[in-house]
Amino acid sequence: METSMKPIIRITAALALTLGLTMGALAQAATISGEVKKIDEGAGKITLKHGAAKSLGMDEPMTMVYRVKDPGMLKQVKVGDKVTFEAEEAASGYTVTRLQKAK
């Protein structure tokens, strides 16, 4: 019984590794690079100039106003900062779900 389990364990490990690598690549593809142009803490919004955002269906560079999921994100950046961010489209518009200064 023990020898017949080894191939199954190997296949399971290979699938887990492949899935992990694929999910990592997808998360990286969803990350958008941009620059902070304006911050409106009172409204919970940020204006970002960014390149193509394939994860949002935007093929061209543009400057857009986004809502932020967590208003605390706005305290971490200032106008002129280069950032990376992730956003999602909702009924109320586009919302930044993750924001950090670019490295």
For the chain, the domains span: 1-30, 32-101
Q: Which residues pair with 33 in a beta bridge?
A: 84
Report residues of the chain scoring pLDDT below 70.
1-29
Closest CA to 83 of 35, 48, 44: 35
Residue 87 CB: number of other CB atoms within 10 A? 27
Which CATH topology does 32-101 take?
OB fold (Dihydrolipoamide Acetyltransferase, E2P) (2.40.50)
Rounded to two decimals, the pTM is 0.71
Q: Given this model, what pLDDT does residue 1 score?
A: 47
- pLDDT value at residue 95: 94
